Amino acid sequence: MKILVVGSGGREHALAWKLKKSPRAPKIFCAPGNAGLAKIATCVSIPAEDIAGLLNFARSSRIDLTVVGPEAPLTQGIVDAFMAAGLDIFGPLASGAAIEGSKVLAKEIMAKYNIPTASYAVFNEPVKAQKYILSSSAPWVVKADGLAAGKGVIVCHTEEQALQAVQTILVDKAFGEAGEQIVIEEYLTGEEASILAFTDGEEVIPMLAAQDHKPAYDNDTGPNTGGMGAYAPAPVCTPEIFQEVKEKILLPTVQALAGEGRPYRGVLYAGLMITARGPMVLEYNVRFGDPEAQPLLMLLKTDLLDIIEAVLTKRLAQINIRWFDGAAITVVLASGGYPGAYQKGKIITGLEQAPEGIEVFHAGTAFKNSHLVTAGGRVLGVTAAAENIALAISKVYAGIKPIHFEGMHYRRDIGRRAILPKT
């Protein structure tokens, strides 16, 4: 069996790693891949957003299944194109993927179908947005409508910050077309969590709850990033909250999308705030999270290929998805300056010294003059599993010690919230 994984990050490395473990021993291709993926897959130099190029490759190479990692090709219709050509592909159609591609659409659907989320207002004119801020109370969350690689969300604790966020997105066009509209949301307090689910459009089976760490630096300080680490399971999602998320958020969202003529299958990701009022949706993603995929796939016991095939054939209700006991954690090693400007081409050393039981998923790496070098903002995702989260934390940070590249930085508090005493 031949499987094509679309993408080049840590999520795609983890997907390829998990799929390769299938008893069916599939041959894995990845487009475009990275230096780490090249060790377990055949990498082909086709960009993830070159849908025509990917389709031609899948046809000519007789690919049996395509698994899409990033959101951009999904929102651009890669699933539509492959399905029209009669090829199996895992992910939602563009109509369903639009709930990640447009935060405005997502909020409108949640409002229409009574899915719990923050109150909000939508603007495309800076003056009106600024007047709204001046007439309401801090804090706010200002979001670019479109895809901004996880960086288009600005938390504003003061009026000055909110006005500047409007300026940055709507006037300065910091996020380009993604910032043609903005959403200004009520600021929710609580603890964040991510619950991803497999769905075939009817059945919804949640994965373990995870918790991402978006801010660049310890103690949730600094600018937002694509994600500096994650762990699972997240204890903030008690069994009662977990069930509430399934019944009041995940299942109603899939049903709402169907009701809107947007049938949905694949992975549905609900980014949540666990508030005093219950779990509320911060955002939707339409694929595996990055880096949440890494610890989740480390803990997944059931063959991922079996799950994907059950989704594609609407047999998800017939499959029992099992998980390993314990916990898993990923810590992202990032380039100096990330999420701002950063240099590439820094030599990476020490990977061969990582202790047994550590998986290092490559996110932004390449080979240059026979050296492994940095090629992105998020470079590596060091991942470990253990009997509990405290042991997993110890194990993962021990695994980081031998690894080095110039400018490398990482958070030293990933997972700490899971072991802090509750007040």
Q: Is the pLDDT of residue 218 over 70?
A: yes
Q: Give, in order, the Cα–Cα distances in Å from 169 to each of 2, 96, 166, 223.
A: 42, 25, 5, 15
**pLDDT band per the 50, 70, 90 thresholds, residue 73:** very high
Confidence at residue 151, expressed as pLDDT on a 0 to 100 scale: 72
Rounded CA separation 248/77 (Å): 28
Q: Is the pLDDT of residue 130 over 90?
A: yes
**Percent of the chain predicted with pLDDT > 70:** 99
pLDDT tens for residues 94-122?
999 999 999 999 999 999 999 999 999 99
Q: Give, in order, the Cα–Cα distances in Å from 35 to each of 30, 333, 372.
A: 11, 15, 7
Contact 217, 174 (CB under 8 A): no
Q: Is the pLDDT of residue 183 over 60?
A: yes
pLDDT tens for residues 28-66?
999 999 999 999 999 999 999 999 999 999 999 999 999
Confidence at residue 354, expressed as pLDDT on a 0 to 100 scale: 86
The 8 Å CB, 24+ separation contacts for 36-41 are: 36/360, 36/361, 36/362, 36/365, 36/380, 37/5, 37/8, 37/12, 37/13, 37/362, 38/367, 40/16, 41/5, 41/16
Tell me, what DSSP letter sits at residue 36? Answer: T
Task: Give the closest residue to 96 by CA, choosing from 247, 316, 286.
Answer: 286
Q: Is the pLDDT of residue 308 over 70?
A: yes
Contact 231, 392 (CB under 8 A): yes
Q: How distant is the alpha carbon of residue 79 from its chain centre?
A: 18
* CA 220, 225, 227, 228 torsion-angle sign: negative
Q: Left, alpha or beta for 51 (phi > 0: left; psi -120 to 50: alpha)?
A: alpha
| CATH architecture type of domain 125-180 | 2-Layer Sandwich (3.30)
Contact 90, 311 (CB under 8 A): yes
Rounded CA separation 250/281 (Å): 10
Do the first three CATH levels of 191-318 and 327-418 match, i.e. the same topology?
A: no
- CATH number attached to the domain at 2-91: 3.40.50.20
pLDDT tens for residues 136-181?
999 999 999 998 866 788 899 999 999 999 999 999 999 999 999 9
Contact 192, 273 (CB under 8 A): yes
**What are the domain boundaries of the chain?**
2-91, 125-180, 191-318, 327-418
Tell me, what DSSP letter sits at residue 291? Answer: T
Q: What is the gyration radius of the CA atoms in the chain, in angstroms?
A: 21
Q: Give, in order, the Cα–Cα distances in Å from 373 to each of 321, 347, 362, 364, 407.
A: 37, 4, 11, 9, 12
Task: Give the closest residue to 106 by CA, choosing from 241, 273, 311, 268.
Answer: 268
Task: Give the closest residue to 386 by CA, choosing from 326, 301, 297, 298.
Answer: 326
Q: Which strand (E) or helix (H) includes residue 240? A: helix 239-245
- Amino acid in position 298: M
- CATH number attached to the domain at 327-418: 3.90.600.10
Rounded CA separation 244/272 (Å): 12
Token output for 373: 């070098």
Q: What is the DSSP string of 57-92?
A: HHHHTT-SEEEE-SHHHHHTTHHHHHHHTT--EES-
Q: How distant is the alpha carbon of residue 329 from its chain centre?
A: 15
Contact 301, 323 (CB under 8 A): yes
For residues 209-223, give the mean pLDDT: 94
Confidence at residue 368, expressed as pLDDT on a 0 to 100 scale: 93
CATH class, range 191-318? alpha beta
**Percent of the chain predicted with pLDDT > 90:** 93
Q: Left, alpha or beta for 345 (phi > 0: left; psi -120 to 50: alpha)?
A: left
Task: Give the closest residue to 373 by CA, choosing from 350, 341, 405, 333.
Answer: 405
Rounded CA separation 394/355 (Å): 12
Contact 28, 16 (CB under 8 A): yes
Rounded CA separation 383/363 (Å): 12
pTM value? 0.95
Confidence at residue 150, expressed as pLDDT on a 0 to 100 scale: 66
